[in-house]
Structure 1
Amino acid sequence: MDLIVRPTPELNGEIGALSSKNYTTRYLLVAALAEGTSTVYYPAHSEDSDAMRRCIQDLGAVLEEDEEKIVITGFGGRPRDVKELNVGNAGAVLRFLMAIASLCPDVTFVNSYPDSLGKRPHSDLIVALEGMGVQIEHQDGKLPIRIMGGKPQGGKISVSGEVSSQYLSALLFLAPLLEEDSEITVLGDLKSKVVIGQTLEVLEQAGIQIDASSDYSRFRVPGRQAYQAKNYTVQGDYPGSAAILAAAAVTKSDVKVHRLMEKSKQGERAIVDVLQMMDVPLKHQDGTVHVTGNGRLRPVEFDGDAATDAVLAMVAAAVFADGTSRFYNVENLRYKECDRITDYLNELKKAGAKVEEGRSEIIVHGRPGGLEGGATINAHFDHRVIMALTVVGLRCKEPLLIKDAHHVAKSYPQFFDHLQALGASVEWVK
């Protein structure tokens, strides 16, 4: 479905942040890898987390869910022998489960999104798993991918961190279950290190012992460990909330977003710091971010590697800053649901934004008076692009039509409901 975003000068109200997608998928996985019953409170509901629910059930976990929680009886280190898994368009779920599926004799991950996830590379993880004795058939590193495992070997393991930290996370979930002790070495410059911190945090909560070097270049993982059945509570999601906060920043606003922990390990918590650097009137205390925006923003320079999933929202805010902003060290944005540098900037230009790209940077020449708008936008089936372009649409003189905006459900199904509750003029086009 398509969506019309109309000029909206003011936003007012309060919402609760949705639950974190990243933490939900990790908690679901470690619960499935435990023997016994775990409970996950306030799990996220999105296409990604639903893909993890579906796939761990296919692998043998038993799930019971109500409005507050999900109770999971895990399969431990012995997933069911399945022939096929479908993760939809969820790249992190695919990569985590490629590692776990190596414990199965023969599993094929199908390609149900050829124009999105089907285009994304997974070669670095494939190379690492092949080095552990797993046979893999693939299409130049892309889906469909057939994994013929059963008995992956621990020991000396190497994986590149140049494209994504998800490959390393996948191996960290798998290695404790192997017979051998493992030493994982990261090759190259590890992207999104802060997300590895989240993975290690969840693994520790699940009773797994891992010794990590301070720079996350080496990990010692004892083998023959067992995941423990535990209770987990999912915190609020900063990546999705980044777009809500950016929307409040570029309008005249009085907006509160609850359930955002001040000391969260989510790298995207940096959206709060960046908006403060841009002189947005903002307070963050007792788990609530309160924005009283006036639409006036200063330009900013920011290293986006630690806050990958908030960069597009930051850029959307910078579009209206009084000066030139630069977001650097963001090349990994090119390897997401779409090329989030080239594709996103091309759509911003359609709306009238003045933006430039480098291989690993985005430069934004702010237009504090607003954009012309009046364009039809191709969001490239990417939830982050959809949310960020919606923020821009609020400050356009003429409406934006965003194609296929329903793909926002990949991470934030309630996004447009929440914006409407705050007063945004957004409308579905059937």
Structure 2
Amino acid sequence: MDVIVTPTPTLQGTIGALSSKNYTTRYLLVAALAEGTSTIYYPAHSEDSDAMRRCIQDLGASLEEDEEKIVITGFGSRPRNVKELNVGNAGAVLRFLMGIAALSENVTFVNTYPDSLGKRPHDDLIVSLQQLGVQVEHREGKLPITISGGAPKGGKITVSGSVSSQYLSALLFLTPLLSEDSEIEVLHDLKSKVVIGQTLEVLEQAGIVIHASDDYMHFKVPGRQAYQPRTYTVQGDYPGSAAVLAAAAVTRSDVTVERLMERSKQGERAIVDVLRQMEVPLTHENDTVHVQGNGRLKAIEFDGDAATDAVLAMVAAACFAEGTSRFYNVENLRYKECDRITDYLAELTKAGAKVEERQAEIIVHGQPEGVEGGVEINAHYDHRVIMALTVVGLRSHKPLVIRDAHHVAKSYPQYFDHLRALGASVEWKES
């Protein structure tokens, strides 16, 4: 399905932020790894979190869900032996479960998205799992991947952090269950350190002890631990809300987004600070962000490493700022559902934006008068690209057609419904 985004000068209204995808997937996993029953309030529903639901059920967890909560009885450290797992297009779910699959005899992760997740490399995690004595069959680090584990013992492990922090998170979920203590050393630079903070926060809530160095480059993990059944509440999602807030910033608006914790450990919380730096009128009080946009923005420079999933929305807003903006330290955007630098900037250019790419930077020459639009653009099956391109369409002179926009469901199925509720002119059409 494609979506037509028609220029919309004014947005107004109140929405509740989507529940966090990152926290939901982590809570689902630690609940499955506990022996006993856990309850998760306000879990996210998206393709990613639903992939985790499906896979932990396949591995032996039982789930009961109503509109408010999900109750999970876990399988502990003994997942059911299954032949195949299908994570869909969910990279984080794949990597977390590659670690847990090391506790099973033989599991194959199938390749159902050859043009997206099927192209992404997982070599760094494969190397780390092999250090634990796990056998891994793969196709140059890519899906399909077969893991033959059973009884990894622990010990000294190295893992590269230069492509993704998800490899490290996978090891942090696995190693507390092993029979020996483990020591994890992170090689090279660690991308998205703030997301490791989220993983450690969830592990601590689940009763797991991990000793981390201040820079998150070295970890000591006692073995023979057990995940505890707990009750969790999922906070609002900053990555998805970033696009809604950017849309409010580039239009004349009076938009309120509720359920966004002021003291959240989500790095994408930086969207609020960035919009403030761009001189967008807003307040953030009582876990509520209120934007009263006037369509006028100032250019900024921003280190995007800690806020990876909000950078594309920030770039969309910068397209209409006065001056030239620079987003740096963002090379890991290249290793997502698509190359979020080259692919995204190619579509922005089609829409009339003035942007430049470097290996680890995005340069945006703002056009306060707006961009031309009037073209059909390709979202590259990427939910973040879809959301950000929609922001650009709201401020274009002519409508934008975004191909395959239904892939927004990967993280934010209600995105277009929420924009419509605020007055945005967006409509679906058959591809």
TM range (shorter): over 0.9
The normalised TM-score by structure 1 is 1.00
What is the CA-CA distance between 1:274 and the residue it aligns to?
0.2
2:271 equivalent to 1:266 = no
Mapped partners of 1:11, 1:5: distance in 2: 14
Deviation string 1:116-161 (CA, Å, 9 cap, x unpaired) is 0000000000000011100000010000000011111201010000
DSSP 3-state at the match of 1:298 = coil
2:369 equivalent to 1:369 = yes
Q: Percent identity?
A: 81
1:22-421 mapped onto 2 (5 Å cutoff) = 22-421=22-421
Mapped partners of 2:124, 2:87: distance in 1: 19
Which amino acid in structure 2 is aligned with residue 123 of structure 1?
D
Deviation string 1:314-346 (CA, Å, 9 cap, x unpaired) is 000000000000000000000000000000000
Mapped partners of 2:417, 2:289: distance in 1: 19
Mapped partners of 2:242, 2:89: distance in 1: 21
What is the CA-CA distance between 1:411 and the residue it aligns to?
0.1
DSSP 3-state at the match of 1:407 = helix
Which amino acid in structure 2 is aligned with residue 68 of structure 1?
E
Mapped partners of 2:409, 2:192: distance in 1: 23
Q: Which runs of 5+ in 2 are unaligned?
A: none
Mapped partners of 1:170, 1:153: distance in 2: 16
DSSP 3-state at the match of 1:314 = helix
Mapped partners of 2:266, 2:373: distance in 1: 33
Mapped partners of 1:227, 1:241: distance in 2: 31
2:413 equivalent to 1:428 = no
Mapped partners of 1:298, 1:153: distance in 2: 54
Which amino acid in structure 1 is aligned with residue 387 of structure 2?
M
Deviation string 1:277-312 (CA, Å, 9 cap, x unpaired) is 000000000010000000000000000000000000
Mapped partners of 2:181, 2:135: distance in 1: 21
- Structure 1 runs of 4+ with >3 Å offset: none
Partner of 1:13: 13
Which amino acid in structure 1 is aligned with residue 402 of structure 2?
I
DSSP 3-state at the match of 1:260 = coil
Which amino acid in structure 1 is aligned with residue 109 of structure 2?
F
The normalised TM-score by structure 2 is 1.00
Deviation string 1:382-404 (CA, Å, 9 cap, x unpaired) is 00000000000000010000000
Which amino acid in structure 1 is aligned with residue 185 of structure 2?
T
**What is the number of equivalent residue pairs in this alignment?**
430
Mapped partners of 1:373, 1:87: distance in 2: 35
DSSP 3-state at the match of 1:255 = strand
Q: Which runs of 5+ in 1 are unaligned?
A: none
DSSP 3-state at the match of 2:13 = strand
Which amino acid in structure 1 is aligned with residue 101 of structure 2?
A
Deviation string 1:60-91 (CA, Å, 9 cap, x unpaired) is 00000000000000000000000000000000
Deviation string 1:352-374 (CA, Å, 9 cap, x unpaired) is 00000000000000000000000
